[in-house]
Amino acid sequence: MRSQSIVVTMAKKTAWITPYKKQKKLLILKTSLFFQCFVTAGVCLNMSSQGVVVGYAAILLPQLKRPGSEIPIDDSSGSWIASIMGFTLVAGNFIVPLIMANYGRKTANIISIIPMLIGWFGIVFAGSVEVMLFARALQGLAMGMSSSIGPVLIGEYASPKNRGAFLMLMSIAIGIGVLGVHTMGSFMTWQHTALICAIVVFMDLLIVIYSPETPSWLADQGRYDESRKVFRWLRGDGEEEELQRIVQTSVMVRESKAEISSSETLVKKIRRNIAYFRMTIAKKEFHKPIFIMIHIYTFGQWSGANILATYTSLVFENVIGPGSNVALLLITLGIQRVISNTSALIVIRKMKRRSMLLATGCINIFAYLSQAAYSYAKEHDMLPFDHPMIGVVLIHIHMFSIATGTIPLPLVLAGELFPLEFRSLAGGISVLFFSGNTFITIKTFTYLSSTLGLYGAYCLYAAVVCYSLVVALMFLPETKDRTLQDIEDEFRGRALSPEEVKATQSLTSLKFNNLDRRCSSPML
């Protein structure tokens, strides 16, 4: 009897402890998810500035072209104001890999926010075209930095289960930024709109300051206790295997670097850096993701997001017709973009990346060619029946393809394809094509639409999107629900052995001292 009572007592205790452990585990998961959301908020607010800066031109240029404007502009100066930020994106792309590698992801994120903040205040107090161009150039510099930082931060902060959704949030943030600035600009002056934008950027700066450094970078610097602490703060205790893998890999790499550095002369260091850079370029896990992301970024930037955000009035006039309610169409298009982005956030958790890329790419090409055919027939009086809603529907289909795939997917893939060892440099190189395509599409659209017509320009854009889509699908591996290490191993063709990991040096080690900075900067 006594033994039976002991068994019953133990069963009762177990029955009480088991739900408690489950509740405690659920609480830890919820807490870690909250912390991941907090750090993601800082990244997303920074990324939303890209949408705000691009969309700001749509409300700035019409106000500056009005009679009696404080800063009178013509078509040439207007196109430079709209596109100069795409040109200075390149400088941000070159700067940010060095900052990320030497001073950390968090520091780079803070530094990227400062030019954006100065740029908005510069616009508020601008009294000439030159000041306006300088302010927009600073914002482009910040955009170039955040384009590289955002996907890297999310990729290193978030767990594989939530990574795709968090990366998609960056696209939603960009869409909200476009909607917000278009809405404010429809009812406020460009100065007041810029001031509100500056306040939002300052709030983002506070969030980033209170966010931690990423566990991967801390481990790469040998700060293993901090790395474990931050990792568990972000992920809880359920992903210890990934944490151990990060730490063990970093330990082996640092030991290898220490052995090499202790026995090297100055000349040997320079030769090693040059040889290592050449060896890095030849690695499949380095150049394959860059080649893919070049085409993915081209695909995204030529899909029409910048055109619909910057030259909205021109597109409405050619597709819908003159006399349309531009303010109302701007707001409704922005709302549709945010809704589509949010829908994509749900879909991307269930749908494979390649399938989503193909589906949205085909819709985008269809939207381009449909608008081209419709505007051509409209201009040459070839339509048997016409109504403004036809043009509205075609533009919304175009925006649907942009919001669900052509803009968010490049951001998602940029956070998944690059291996940790080369992430700063590889991300910076590939984003050069992001910035170059941004500048080209915005700067040349008015010229193409005036010489080729909107239909000719749209046919050209559709051809570029089609080419980029085909190439990307030929080489892009499926990345959904896979760890970053698994993706890297697929590019390489196999997993690294412990001996190979130990023999490998992190690319960031080329910049550990002043000499290495001087050696590596020209190559970057």
Q: How confident is the model at residue 459 (pLDDT cuts 50, 70, 90)?
A: very high
Structural element, H or E, at residue 47: helix 2-64
DSSP state, residue 323:
T
CA distances from 506 to 106, 423, 477, 510 (A): 19, 10, 24, 8
Q: How confident is the model at residue 215 (pLDDT cuts 50, 70, 90)?
A: confident
Whether the CA torsion 110, 116, 120, 125 is positive or negative: it is positive
Q: Quickly tell me which residue has 């009086």 as its tokens.
A: 381
In CATH terms, the fold of domain 26-523 is Growth Hormone; Chain: A; (1.20.1250)
Out of 16-30, 273-287, 447-461, 475-489, least confident range: 16-30
**pLDDT reported for residue 238:** 66
Amino acid at 450: S
- Find the mean pLDDT for residues 419-441: 75
- Find the mean pLDDT for residues 491-506: 53
Helix/strand number for the chain, H first, E second = 22, 0
The residue ranking higher by pLDDT, 262 or 343, is 343
**pLDDT reported for residue 19:** 47
- Find the mean pLDDT for residues 99-128: 90
Out of 89-98, 186-195, 238-247, least confident range: 238-247
Cα–chain center distance at 373: 32
**pLDDT reported for residue 134:** 93
SS3 category, 125: coil
Whole-number Å distance between alpha carbons of 475 and 41: 32
Highest mean pLDDT among 85-99, 241-255, 353-367, 405-419: 353-367
Highest mean pLDDT among 124-133, 147-156, 241-250: 124-133
Residue 366 has pLDDT above 80, yes or no: yes
- Find the mean pLDDT for residues 395-420: 82
Of residues 271, 283, 254, 259, the one with CA closest to residue 516: 271
Residue 467 has pLDDT above 90, yes or no: yes
Whole-number Å distance between alpha carbons of 471 and 242: 32
